[in-house]
Amino acid sequence: MKKLFIWSLTLVFFAGFTSCKEDPIEPPNEVYDTEVNINFHHLANGSLVDMDTMKYISAHGDTISIRTIKYFVTRLTFHREGKSDVMLKDMHYVEEGLDNTKSYLYSTKIPSGTYTGISFTYGFVNEDNISFMFGSAPEYQMFWPENMGGGYHYQKIEGQYYVNGIKKFYNFHSGGLDDEDYSINIVLANSEFTTQNKSVLIDLNMELMNWFKNPVIWDFDYFGAAIMGNHEAQAVIQQNGADVFSATVQ
């Protein structure tokens, strides 16, 4: 019995020791000295969008206008060769018409060096999408009702479209529906860069017309104006979002 007790103690001791080894605390061996600025640009057919103008033709052939653009960019991540990624925790809200949201200096910095690319989450992964986490407007007003899963809208893009001579509204809203994660992992093409002067500037372009094509041609009348409770529509937005963004980095 005594032997068993000693063995047990030994096991507990080593188990504890092993646990410590599995979760090492890495010493800070990098200097996070480079600030990250990001500017947001909203384009339609390659040019800055004219809001509230019924002049854009979707891939489906619908004439549309755009009145509202609101969305969240989260988990902005910088990728490196042979080193761990650097992810910034800020959850940034962007709104066309609110200039102070369209240019943003991240609250934390990244190490100087060469990066192979940038990615981010459009909206929130489920783990980040926590109801009532925003305490003030405008983020607060992006809430997603609890009976549809809670958390926040990823985006609200709104406007009008013509169908059979009738002007209708569309609410191109996306979010996590019934705990299904429809956030979009955006990997920016050609976003490699080397930091200079301890600052990096990302000009992020959203090509609005790409929401409505590739791979799925968006038919406004098929999906209807109200799509928050529509899993098929949410999945299509998630697919179509992959090539909506492009960036220049300097």
Partner 1 sequence: MKWNNIIGVVLTIGLFSISSCNKDEPSPIDDPSNQPYVTTPYTIDVPIGFPDLIIPEDNKTTIEGVALGRMLYYDNILDKDSARSCATCHIQNENFQTDNGSDQILSHINFAWSNNFMWNGGFTGTLEEVMLFEVEHFFETNIARLNANEEYKKRFKQAFDVDEITSKEAAYALAQFQRIMISSNSKFDKYMRGQAMLTDLEMQGMILYNTEEADCFHCHGTSLFTDNIPRNNGLDEFPEDGLMAVTGIPMDLGRFKTPSLRNIEFTAPYMHDGRFQTLEEVVDFYSTGVHNTATVDPLMVYAYKGGVDLSDDDKKALIAFLKTLSDTDYLTNTELSDPFN
Which residues of this protein are in contact with partner 1, per CB under 8 A? 52, 67-68, 132, 135-137, 140-141, 143, 145-148, 158-160, 166-171, 225-229
| Under 8 Å between Cβ of 211 and 227 | no
Closer residue to partner 1, CB minimum distance, 1 or 166: 166
CB of 164 to partner 1, least distance (A): 10
Closer residue to partner 1, CB minimum distance, 16 or 145: 145
Closer residue to partner 1, CB minimum distance, 67 or 102: 67
CB of 43 to partner 1, least distance (A): 20
CB of 197 to partner 1, least distance (A): 36
Closer residue to partner 1, CB minimum distance, 174 or 195: 174
Distance from C-alpha of 70 to C-alpha of 74, rounded to nearest angstrom: 14
Closer residue to partner 1, CB minimum distance, 4 or 166: 166
CB of 114 to partner 1, least distance (A): 40
Q: Please give the structure tokens belonging to residue 180.
A: 């299904």
**Over the chain, what HEC string results?**
CHHHHHHHHHHHHHHHHHHHHHCCCCCCCCCCCEEEEEEEEEEECCEECCCCCCCEECCCCCEECCCEEEEEEEEEEEECCCCCCEEECCCEEEECCCHHHCEEECCCCECCCEECEEEEEECCCHHHCCCCCCCCCCHHHHECCHHHCCCEEEEEEEEEEEECCEEEEEEEEEECECCECCCEEEECCCCCEECECCEEEEEEEEEHHHHHCCCCCCCHHHHCCECCCCHHHHHHHHHHHHHCEEEEEC
CB of 35 to partner 1, least distance (A): 27
Closer residue to partner 1, CB minimum distance, 167 or 198: 167
Closer residue to partner 1, CB minimum distance, 25 or 166: 166
CB of 21 to partner 1, least distance (A): 42
CB of 17 to partner 1, least distance (A): 44
- Give 11's contacts (C-beta < 8 A, 6+ positions apart): none
